[in-house]
A and B are shown apart, each in its own frame.
Chain A
Amino acid sequence: EIHIREPTEKEVNPHLLPGELLLCEASTVYKYIQEDGSNRGTYGKLVCTNFKIAFLDDSASDDNEPQFKNKIVGENDITLQCVDQIYGVYDEKKKLLTGQLRKYPEKLIIYCKDLRVFQFCLRYTKEEEVKRIVSGIVHHSQTPKLLKRLFLFSYASAAPNNIDGRNQTVMFDTLEDWRDELERTKGTVKYKAVTTNEGYKVSEKLPLYFVVPICISEESILKYEGRGIPIWCWSCHNGAALLKMSAFPKEQDDSTSQMQKAFLDGIYKTISKPPYELLKMDDLSSSLPSLQDIQTAYTRFKQLFLIDNCTDFWATDVKWFSLLESTNWLEIIRRVLKKAIEVAECLERQHTNVLLIEESATDLCCVISSLVQVMMDSYSRTKSGFQSLIQKEWVIGGHGFLDRCNHLHKSEKEEAPVFLLLLNCVWQLVQQYPPAFEFTETYLTVLSDSLYVPIFSTFFFNSQHQKDTNTSGESLKTQSGPFRFLTVWDWSVQFDPKAQAFLNNPLYAEKPRPDKSQRKSTRFKHQRQLSLPLTQTKSSTKRGFFREETDHLIKNILGKRIGKLINSSDEPPNSFREFYDSWHSKPVDYHGLLLPRINGPDIKVWAQRYLRWIPEAQLHGGGTIATAAKILDLMEQVQSLQVKMDEEHSQAISGDVHSVPMLRKSPRLSSLFPFALLQRQSVKPALPTSTWKDLEDEDDLVKRDDEFVDLSGDMS
């Protein structure tokens, strides 16, 4: 029998957030260190609160603070929303734990949505405690929940009234935000922000304020609860706009569908007249994979990274590429990127408005419109610009985060990683064009992690309406003034300034700014047009309009202005290829249009997000972090030289040139940095344990010797 160690004297208590309640706990839990399949680990206490599951290491010392630490979710914390699946191990057999349990397992494996895997041995824990903790964890993380029971609400009512610091993110919850965005993109001539939905009298799915073509009447918006109405997303520098529309559901009744058709024809006619550009429609539900396909693909894909031990790692390594391909996830990313390029081509080269159509216009519409803006509008590649984009298209735009992430465990049918799909696509761009983005891949990774941290309202509502109604409800009274949720964009909640530095890209080639003194700090967020690609100047507007008009006339005469649904396939197929090839044959302007490369070898696995917890995949002193660290070191040197020069200028006191700080001896970083919590301490190389599979088809070659020479002299 293994000696059971008593819990240590010192009582370890969980760190609780305001509003967080300890629900159950178990001591003498043994947590395996996921390293080499050996049963090494540490004893500690496993607790479950209304916010998280946490393992409190008995022997933990505080002196080893990691450089990059999340203040809300610790190394051994799993928020209830972050739990993906829980398995119990009974006599070496894994069984999925979902609801009521009859028998309690000797080992608990928790797979997390951020790809961590925790293994807890309960053999040394008192039976009563095992029962309580296992059923507690399963109940609180795996069973349906009421919205109001989300930790978000307990936290918001208990936490001191946080007024997020000066945040440059545009929230798009006011009319002014929309007007500013219109102005920034020079869309004001043809589009207007409307207040029709105040009081949600049009639809609970639509935001309070949104933008439509000027010619659209309030009546038409109200007629079908906003369906069939082109809603503006963004205007390109040449005036062409990206629009989205919520489609009519398939109607059985003939007269209804006739009426809807007439209504749509009216709308199309209206927005096809000058000054509007030609219109091209794209029904995303038919041109992109379905949400079900996306969910299936991601479920398979993530499974490849939820690895129990190193045997698993090497066993899957042999067939890695075909396993990856069979998930279809990378192919979906490729198709989405391709679609975004097609849309960009219409806007940029054909000066055509593009109308994205989807049943609710809140899923794939969000992905495509966001991607197009990231590719075409360099403002969306800054941190605040990207955050504003997520607010505009997703949070206010009405993406159903609550349902798509299945935060309440209500229905698995609704679950689909649509937002993760966007982040995965943006990551492809980030790794293909590092200098074009103000943020790093680490930023995208922690953003994806934040999907499961229920202290921010950002990703925990289906719509602005849902958030509003749940904020003003009577049951929500706080001790200290008005009720307020945190936004994820206030990164200081999760990270201290030192850790936040990892979110900023040192390679970002900032656009040269005009003289700072001309900017008024109060108007800061309205100055964003400065980062837009250079537009044709206003002086030529008139001629431009005239030209556009004749253009329209000619195309009108030619007919087929808007047929039925014109898919991009109507376009000569070369048009896309030509656009793509000609762009790629030129040098990249990091502040201009950015097209992702989408050939097979170009689409990669987001290694940081998916491999970060796997010790076998770690490179000591290697990976991209090795060069990034060198750049940071050099920047520090340049910075201190700047300081030194300042001093020289102001004081005219001679210093010693040779005291300039030389390359600080930075410790060898792991490629898993900054997520290197599970760092392998040993310097032993990782050796594949899997066996070589047969080369069936080349059997005759395999058996041959390099060069046939009979060496057995005595046989000749």
Chain B
Amino acid sequence: TLKDGTNWEQNEEIPRLPGETRVTDKDVIYMCPFNGPVKGRVYITNYRLYLRSVENDPVVVLNVPLGVISRIEKMGGASSRGENSYGLDITCKDMRNLRFALKQEGHSRRDIFEVLTKYAFPQSHNSLFFAFLNEEKFSENGWMVYNPMSEYRRQGLPNERWRVTFINEHYGLCDTYPSLLVVPYNATDDDLKKVAAFRSRNRIPVLSWIHPETQAVIMRCSQPLVGMSGKRNKDDERYLDIIREANGQISKLTIYDARPNVNAVANKATGGGYEGEDAYPNAELFFLDIHNIHVMRESLKKLKDIVYPNVEESHWLSSLESTHWLEHIKLVLTGAIQVADKVSSGRSSVLVHCSDGWDRTAQLTSLAMLMLDSYYRTIEGFEVLVQKEWISFGHKFASRIGHGDKNHADADRSPIFLQFIDCVWQMSKQFPTAFEFNEQFLITILDHLYSCRFGTFLYNSESLREKEKVTEKTLSLWSLINSEKSKYTNPFYTKELNRALYPVASMRHLELWVNYYIRWNPRIRQQQPNPVEQRYMELLALRDDYMRRLEELQITNNSKISNSSASSASPSQMMSQVQTHF
């Protein structure tokens, strides 16, 4: 049943995934902010919006997964007179807006608006995410990438001081934590339950990472429920002391509260707070001054204003500064450096928390781990890191991204994970040989953070994902990536074990990630492929070619020696092609 007499069969070059079904298509004018109005036809499936221009020179194509759509607005009314003033304005989560002008006659706008709303916001329509309909096949199974037990074993856990507990197997202790947790050997499951009562949303301090040499650990949790009255909890105090003793070397446990001091104080009013000196004499507390999710959301909004559709020309630097985006990046990195340095050269265990321990805390622990453990700088290791510190520990992806939810103004939305990926990009920019993955890897992760094509980032917690049977019914993003790893591999990667990698969190080195934030602007786009990388690949090919030829030559020469017959192969020819410049 084809609507509008469209013949989809004739448009088979329109990409479609297995499981993707067509819904409708329409003639529209795409109001391209860079090339002006473009006549084209838009095709809508249950996964994407695809537009191709009628004109072929240049051919304009839009390929937008419906998951990136944040808001759909009607522009213009029946009385609109201006040219192309009647249509739809679509706000996307990936730093762009799409405008389509439509004919006023008929119901073309109403139709397209309804279709888009229905498929872009399945959560608001009680329908399924495309991830549950996706029938793609991959050679790798990304759901196998992360196994908490093997990851802890890789870290040398459990050991005589740290044990694995299944107390949260059915999410009874904490419904936003994973089922498997690593806790001090000397704390009983009963202790854990008592501690849970004193931590916001029962998110007790558990181990994220252990330093292979110093045995100092990175612990994560939520804020203590101190409240206005300054409540204390003996079990919590004792538990922190057990953590401190577990590494047995340093007199004090270091607590990093990611929030600004004032916010931590203010949290007492709602029952939260921080570890006071009196109650925790064996702990040192530092505030890392990272702002809340609302500040970050506003910052990104401001950033979009200065880069889309047009890049601020004459006052670029001060405009960039006024968004505060890079200042926030600087603070997050600074915090993570402090955590990593404390564990590494300070040889002290640290406890990291913010309010709930699923936003800033995840940023800090995962970045510190990335700095300390070179395994996380590999493709697989990074997947494990995201899977562990973000997905399994309950970063609220569904709320922060608003997957399939039409409520675009939801105050729960915030680009916390994007900010983390940006920090990783800053590190990879400063250390171009330290990461196995390339920029494309990070961009692909961000693209599918919104696309809803994979189950990886859906839902807020492991318990919900289990309930929705995500691993059975959807595919993992890591299946896509691991099936064509070469596309995401950094050719300059140099494996280095046990090397702490500290970025310089100075504005002199931090840069706006132009290839991500300004990638829709054809005037800004950077050269692809990167010439330095290209040259390196050429050299690699040349080297391999030489090695092969040399081997052949040696075989020939060997046989020559036995035959003592000279052949006039073309060595000079070969050499003349390799006049590389040194």
Give me the interface of A with B, judged by CB distance under 8 Å: 313-314, 317-322, 324-325, 330-331, 433-435, 438, 504, 506-510, 581, 584-585, 588, 597, 599-603, 605, 607, 611, 616-624, 626-627, 630-631, 634-635, 637-639, 641-642, 644-646, 648-649, 652-655, 657, 660, 671, 683-688, 692, 695, 698, 701-715
Contacts and interface: CB of A to CB of B under 8 A. Distances in A.
A219 B320 CA distance: 57
9 contacts: A324-B317, A600-B317, A617-B508, A621-B499, A639-B582, A685-B340, A685-B341, A687-B338, A706-B356
Given A313-B506, A508-B581, A599-B523, A634 B270 contact: no
B272 A599 contact: no
Nearest to A692: B289
For B331, B432, B504, B524, which residue has the most chain A Cβ atoms within 10 angstroms?
A: B504
Nearest to B506: A317
B505 A635 contact: no
B557 A623 contact: no
A584 B271 CA distance: 57
A318 B341 CA distance: 22
Contacts of B547: 641, 657, 660
A593 to B, nearest CB: 15
A74 B298 CA distance: 51
Contacts of A510: 579, 581
B293 A648 contact: no
B56 interface: no
Contacts of B345: 683-684
Contact of B311 (A320, A600, A713): A600
B575 A642 contact: yes
A655 B554 contact: yes
Contacts of B434: 621-622
A548 to B, nearest CB: 30
A701 B550 contact: no
A600 B316 contact: yes
B119 to A, nearest CB: 29
A686 B334 CA distance: 9
Nearest to B315: A325
A631 B536 CA distance: 6
B270 A703 contact: no
A574 to B, nearest CB: 12
A416 to B, nearest CB: 23
A619 B430 contact: yes
A630 B433 contact: yes
A711 B272 contact: yes
Contact of A686 (B292, B340, B355, B506): B506
Contact of B341 (A507, A607, A684, A712): A684
B294 interface: yes
A330 B317 contact: yes
A298 B566 CA distance: 68
A631 B432 CA distance: 13
Candidate in B320, B324, B330, B582 with the most chain A CB atoms within 10 angstroms: B582
Contacts of A698: 295, 298
Q: In the A-B complex, list the 7 residue pairs whose CB atoms are closest, starting with the nearest.
A: A600-B316, A712-B271, A711-B271, A685-B502, A320-B507, A321-B321, A325-B317
Given A635-B580, A638-B539, A639-B582, A645 B432 contact: no
B507 A317 contact: yes
Interface string B539-582: 11011001101110110011011000010000100110011111
A601 B550 contact: no
A498 B135 CA distance: 59
B527 interface: yes
Contacts of B558: 654
Interface in B488-544: 492, 494, 499-509, 512, 514, 518, 522-524, 527, 531-532, 535-536, 539-540, 542-543
Given A330-B317, A703-B263, A706-B356, A712 B561 contact: no
Nearest to B539: A634
A626 B527 contact: no
Contacts of A320: 321, 506-508
Contacts of B330: 688
A250 B433 CA distance: 59
B432 A626 contact: yes
Contacts of B506: 313-314, 317, 320, 616-617, 686, 688
Contacts of A685: 337, 340-341, 502, 504
Contact of A601 (B272, B311, B582): B311
Given A654-B554, A692-B260, A709-B270, A321 B539 contact: no
B546 A645 contact: yes
A711 B324 CA distance: 31
B294 A701 contact: yes
B295 A712 contact: no
A552 B528 CA distance: 41
Given A706-B356, A707-B293, 5 more contacts: A324-B317, A619-B509, A635-B582, A683-B502, A712-B227
Given A321-B317, A631-B535, A652-B557, A707 B412 contact: yes
B255 to A, nearest CB: 18
A140 B326 CA distance: 45
B500 to A, nearest CB: 7
A701 B531 CA distance: 43
Nearest to A602: B524
A706 B433 contact: no
Contacts of B341: 684-685, 687
Contacts of B55: none
Given A434-B531, A601-B518, A617-B508, A706 B355 contact: yes
Contacts of B554: 648, 654-655, 657
B200 interface: yes
Nearest to A632: B582
Contact of B539 (A635, A646, A701): A635
B225 interface: yes
B200 A634 contact: no
Contacts of A712: 225, 227-228, 270-271
A601 B294 contact: no
B14 interface: no
Contacts of A317: 506-508
A319 B539 contact: no
Contacts of B494: 630
A652 B580 CA distance: 24
B359 interface: yes
A143 to B, nearest CB: 35
Contacts of B289: 692
Contact of B295 (A330, A581, A652, A695): A695
Given A317-B507, A652-B561, A695 B512 contact: no
A310 to B, nearest CB: 11
Contact of A584 (B263, B523, B542, B580): B523
A620 B434 CA distance: 11
Given A322-B317, A638-B546, A433 B531 contact: yes
B266 A703 contact: yes
A631 B575 CA distance: 20
Contacts of A631: 532, 535-536, 539
A701 B295 contact: yes
B139 interface: no
B305 to A, nearest CB: 14
Contacts of B166: none
Nearest to A712: B271
B291 interface: yes
Given A618-B504, A645-B550, A652-B560, A710 B270 contact: yes
A465 B391 CA distance: 74
B222 to A, nearest CB: 9
B318 interface: yes
A645 B575 CA distance: 9
B575 A325 contact: no
B313 interface: yes
Contact of B543 (A585, A641, A657, A703): A641
Contacts of B271: 710-713, 715
B355 A705 contact: yes
